[in-house]
């Protein structure tokens, strides 16, 4: 056989030797057809380390046993003659820029033919796309004959046979959970208490571990005690659904237990905590009480899955049920362990959707999920990002996911602000126009956000910025929060407000973090839970100085660590929030008299003002909380020309547009703008000032008892012209129509 056909790449000596050895393996077995298992066994004999490196999750021992057992049974696997293997190996070598075909190219061909995931982006298999277990269902169920022969009509109707799904190739390859699967196999092989309970956070892959067990059973990679078993999964909610008549649920549970209590059948109950109280009174006629006797007798083998919180709350609380299960802790995968999972799934996406995701993009998705999806766990959050990116590319007619696509999709999923540069520029303008706070402090806030919003800070777990407002500056808290929410997060609705003046004693800590299990309010929704729902938000903590010292200590620790921990042990992360603290405590007069003279000292410098503010904050809040603040502001700034323009072109103009719909044409004199500007320190800001003092003067003039006025469609109803004026320090309203004129004053 020539090393290279005309125009083809030549073979390295090792690759040429491999061809001879694989033919020798076929001849020794007495097979007429050369199949993928001949290639796999030969590669394992000479290049086992290379195979493990080329395919994440592949283990030489189990793979060798699989190849041996299949070949002994006369199953050679997918046909892979030398000519086809050479052609595909040459194509792969040429794609990676090599000048000669190496053993690794043949290894990639064989691994792809048998459905093993590859370690890099070269996932194209025979015929131009990857061959996976789902493309060759005839190979997976070979030798698998369920030994559970008793009919199971109830389980068939309410459950799902995972081993059948594995035999038909409808399950994704399971990567990175070999230890947990092996421990579950050992537990199921015990003589007593053979009921493993997979316990771990949502999204770590508990259900996938059971699917991996089903795949091993179908492939014959389990001990004799589990060989040819069926794994059937049921959801407690499916069992309860439709059982409305008295006794119907109990009868259904008895049928499930009876059908599952046979040799060769393993029952998998997902969300097992839902059994508590399902279908009847908890502890008496619910599903858990009906299941306990069968578990105690050892009649059935049962796998359960639940989260840590539900296991502690429901299962451990029922000692009779808890001692029937053997807990198996399922921890979150690391970034390195998640990468092979995404590689395997990306190959399936390439085959199913013809969308390629490069290795670097997969790494970026994992890093992004760790940085900005802290309330969720790997691999689930990274898998979600990958699926969404592929769906985005597929629906837009693209064959690959670019970095820009991945970034846009990921930012949209977590609510992260896009176009950061534009948002920061808008923030600078809005702060100057709407917020009456000193320019130096506002610039310090912008400088901080320019670093943190991009994720470039050294402690990304902390909030993007923590701003403390004291004295007169408290009046600008609401406006500042709205401006930050509008510009950075994209919506003024993303402001979460917590009034700390309610937390005045040690018992009020439960109002902030929740009550413990068994106490009143344990399941209540707390304000901090809104932060978990919208991580990119502005957290406005008002009247922090009035809170109990223990509450202040909890707040200081949360700002230092970047998260609250509620009473259930759940973390609410603050890493993507901007936090505003208010403490209406007085700060020393900026121009207090010195000595006995009547003259006044020069206005203090910015450093002196900062020292005065820090001293007042330290006395009111304590050093730990003050240390967590990035910007401390204790005074308002004189109204600027830009703020006056905003008052007239935005605030008053928006007011005029609203009232025009009700038959009021609103105008104002320049002195009204001055009147508003001189009241910048009003609590709640200018918007509240307009609502509280101007709106009551305008309400009596609304046309036709508040019926909307549409000038373009109703020319017979003229609008009432109102003019806001300043007379003797009070706002007056002058109304003029065709017949009369009236006045009102504030």
Q: How far is CA 490 from CA 232, 415, 482, 534, in A?
A: 46, 9, 10, 12
Annotate 387-410 with b (16+ C-beta within 10 A) or e (fewer): ebbbebbbeeeeeebeeebbbebb
Q: Which residue has the higher pLDDT, 268 or 194?
A: 268
Q: Which of 86, 85, 77, 87 is nearest to 31 (CA)?
A: 77
Contacts of 219 by beta carbon, 8 Å cutoff, 6+ apart: 66, 140, 144
pLDDT at 141 over 70: no
Q: What is the CATH number of domain 153-329?
A: 3.40.50.300
Q: Rounded distance, CA 347 to CA 390, Å?
A: 11
Of all residues in the chain, what percent are helix, strand and coil, respectively (each to 5)?
A: 50, 10, 35
Grade residue 168 by pLDDT with cuts at 50, 70 and 90: confident
Of how many residues is the chain composed?
Answer: 746
Residue 291's pLDDT band, with cuts at 50, 70 and 90, is confident
Which residue intervals of 220-334 are DSSP H helices?
236-240, 248-260, 287-297, 308-310, 319-322
Q: Report the pLDDT value the prediction gives residue 492, as an integer from 0 to 100.
A: 83
The DSSP string of 134-194 is: GG-TTTTTTT------S--HHHHHHSEEHHHHHHTT-SPPP-S-HHHHHHHHHHHTSSS--
| Confidence bin at 520 (pLDDT 50/70/90) | low
Query: Quick one: pLDDT band at residue 639, thresholds 50, 70, 90?
Result: low
Distance (Å, rounded) from C-alpha 617 to C-alpha 542?
14
Instruction: Please report the pLDDT score of residue 385 as a whole number.
Output: 94
For residue 50, what pLDDT is reported? 74
The confidence score (pLDDT) of residue 20 equals 87
What is residue 680's predicted lDDT score, i.e. its pLDDT? 60
Digit-coded pLDDT (tens) for 640-675: 666 667 677 667 777 787 777 777 788 887 787 777
Could you please state the CATH topology (level 3) that the domain comprising 420-588+605-633 is classified under.
Rossmann fold (3.40.50)
Mean pLDDT of the chain: 79
Q: Which residues have a Cβ under 8 Å from the Cβ of 704 and sit 6 or more positions away?
A: 663, 717
- Per-residue pLDDT band for 464 (boundaries 50, 70, 90) equals very high
Spatial distance between the Cα atoms of 551 and 364, rounded to a whole number of angstroms: 38
CATH number of this structure's domain 335-414, picked from the four choices 3.40.50.920, 1.10.8.60, 2.40.50.140, 2.160.10.10: 1.10.8.60
Protein fold of 13-131: Double Clp-N motif (1.10.1780)
**227 conformational bin, left if phi > 0, alpha if psi -120 to 50, beta if neither:** beta
Phi-psi region of 355 (alpha: psi -120 to 50; beta: other; left: phi over 0): beta
Every domain of the chain and the residues it spans: 13-131, 153-329, 335-414, 420-588+605-633, 641-745
Higher pLDDT: 429 or 280? It is 429
Name the CA radius of gyration of the chain, rounded.
35
pLDDT for 87? 86
Given this model, what pLDDT does residue 539 score? 95
The distance from CA 437 to its chain's CA centroid, rounded to whole angstroms, is: 36
Instruction: Please tell me the predicted confidence (pLDDT) of residue 469.
Output: 92
Q: What is the mean pLDDT of residues 491-512?
A: 88
Structure tokens at 571: 């973390």
- How does pLDDT run across 573-630, given as a tens digit for each residue? 998 899 999 998 887 654 443 333 444 455 566 667 677 777 888 888 888 898 899 9
Spell out the residues 6+ positions from residue 477 whose beta carbon is closer than 8 angstroms to its own.
Answer: 469, 540, 542, 580, 582
* pLDDT tens per residue across span 190-219: 887 788 999 988 888 899 999 999 998 988
Alpha carbon 118 to chain centroid, angstroms: 27
The H helix count followed by the E strand count for the chain is: 31, 19
What fold characterizes domain 641-745?
Helicase, Ruva Protein; domain 3 (1.10.8)
Q: Is the pLDDT of residue 711 over 70?
A: no
Q: Can 13-131 and 335-414 be said to share one CATH topology?
A: no
- pLDDT for res 683: 52
Instruction: Give the residue among 173, 202, 188 at the shortest CA–CA distance from 305.
Output: 202
Compute the distance between CA of residue 590 and CA of residue 613 in angstroms, rounded to an integer.
10
pLDDT band at residue 220 under the 50/70/90 scheme: confident
Q: pLDDT-based confidence at 286, cuts 50/70/90? A: low
Does 737 score more than 60 pLDDT? no
Contacts of 465 (CB under 8 A, 6+ apart): 445, 448, 449, 452, 578, 579, 630, 631
Whether the pLDDT of residue 140 is over 60: the answer is no
Please determine, for residue 559, whether its predicted confidence score (pLDDT) is greater than 90: yes
Q: Is 68 exposed, middle or buried (0-12, 13-18, 19+ CB in 10 A)?
A: middle
Sheet order of strands, 578-583 included: 495-499, 538-542, 578-583, 465-470, 631-633
């Amino acid at each position: 056989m020539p090393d290279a056909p005309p125009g083809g790449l030549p073979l390295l000596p090792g690759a040429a030797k491999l061809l001879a050895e694989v033919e020798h393996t076929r001849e020794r077995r007495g097979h007429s057809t050369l199949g993928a298992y001949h290639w796999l066994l030969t590669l394992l004999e000479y290049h086992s380390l290379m195979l493990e490196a080329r395919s994440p999750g592949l283990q030489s021992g189990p793979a060798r046993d699989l190849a041996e057992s299949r070949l002994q049974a006369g199953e050679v696997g997918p046909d892979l003659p030398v000519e086809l293997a050479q052609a595909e190996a040459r194509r792969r070598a040429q794609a990676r820029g090599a000048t000669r075909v190496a053993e690794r190219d043949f290894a990639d061909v064989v691994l792809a033919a048998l459905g093993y995931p590859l370690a890099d982006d070269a996932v194209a298999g025979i015929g131009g796309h990857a061959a996976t277990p789902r493309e060759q269902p005839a190979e997976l169920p070979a030798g698998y004959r369920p030994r559970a022969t008793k009919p199971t009509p109830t389980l068939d109707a309410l459950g799902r046979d995972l081993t059948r799904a594995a035999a038909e190739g409808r399950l994704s390859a399971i990567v990175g959970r070999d230890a947990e699967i092996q421990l579950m196999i050992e537990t199921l092989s015990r003589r007593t208490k053979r009921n493993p309970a997979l316990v771990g956070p949502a999204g770590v892959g508990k259900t996938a571990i059971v699917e991996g067990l089903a795949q091993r059973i179908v492939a014959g990679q389990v001990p004799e005690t589990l060989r040819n078993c069926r794994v059937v999964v049921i959801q407690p909610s499916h069992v309860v659904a439709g059982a409305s008549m008295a006794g119907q649920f109990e009868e259904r549970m008895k049928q499930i237990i009876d059908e599952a209590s046979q040799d060769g059948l393993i029952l998998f109950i997902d969300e097992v905590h839902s059994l508590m109280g399902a279908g009847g009174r908890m502890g008496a006629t619910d599903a858990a009480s009906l299941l306990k006797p069968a578990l105690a007798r050892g009649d059935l083998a049962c796998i359960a899955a639940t989260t840590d919180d539900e296991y502690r709350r429901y299962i451990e609380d029922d000692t009779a049920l808890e001692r029937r299960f053997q807990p198996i802790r399922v921890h979150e995968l690391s970034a390195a362990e998640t990468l092979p999972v995404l590689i395997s799934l990306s190959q399936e996406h390439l085959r199913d959707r013809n969308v390629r995701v490069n290795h670097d993009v997969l790494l970026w998705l994992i890093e992004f999920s760790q940085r900005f999806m802290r309330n969720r766990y790997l691999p689930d959050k990274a898998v979600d990002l990958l699926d969404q990116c592929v769906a985005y590319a597929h629906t837009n007619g693209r064959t690959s996911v670019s970095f820009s696509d991945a970034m846009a999709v990921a930012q949209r999923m977590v609510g992260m602000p896009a176009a950061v540069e534009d948002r920061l520029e808008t923030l600078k303008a809005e702060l100057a126009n709407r917020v009456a706070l000193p320019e130096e402090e506002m610039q310090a806030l912008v400088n901080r956000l320019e670093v943190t919003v991009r994720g470039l800070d050294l402690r990304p777990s902390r909030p993007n910025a923590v701003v403390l407002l004291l004295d007169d500056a408290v009046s600008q808290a609401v406006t500042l929060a709205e401006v930050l929410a509008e510009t950075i997060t994209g919506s003024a609705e993303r402001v979460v407000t917590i009034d700390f003046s309610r937390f005045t004693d040690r018992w009020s800590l439960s109002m902030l973090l929740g009550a413990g299990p068994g106490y009143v309010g344990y399941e209540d929704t707390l304000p901090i839970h809104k932060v978990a729902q919208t991580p990119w938000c502005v957290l406005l903590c008002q009247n922090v100085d009035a809170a109990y010292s223990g509450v202040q200590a909890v707040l200081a620790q949360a700002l230092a660590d970047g998260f609250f921990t509620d009473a259930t042990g759940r973390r609410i992360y603050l890493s993507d929030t901007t936090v505003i603290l208010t403490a209406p405590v007085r700060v020393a007069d900026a121009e207090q008299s010195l000595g006995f003279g009547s003259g006044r000292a020069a206005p203090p410098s910015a450093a002196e003002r900062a020292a005065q503010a820090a001293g007042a904050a330290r006395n009111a809040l304590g050093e730990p909380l003050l240390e967590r603040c990035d910007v401390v502001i204790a005074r308002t700034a004189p109204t600027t020309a830009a703020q006056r323009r905003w008052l007239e072109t935005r605030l008053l103009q928006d007011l005029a547009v609203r009232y025009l719909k009700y038959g009021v044409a609103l105008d104002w004199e320049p002195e009204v703008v001055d009147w508003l500007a001189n009241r910048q320190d009003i609590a709640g800001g200018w918007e509240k000032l307009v609502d509280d003092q101007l709106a009551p003067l305008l309400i009596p003039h609304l046309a036709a008892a508040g019926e909307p006025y549409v000038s373009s469609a109703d020319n017979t109803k003229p609008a009432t012209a109102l003019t806001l004026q300043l007379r003797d320090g009070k706002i007056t309203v002058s109304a003029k129509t065709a017949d009369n004129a009236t006045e009102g004053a504030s």
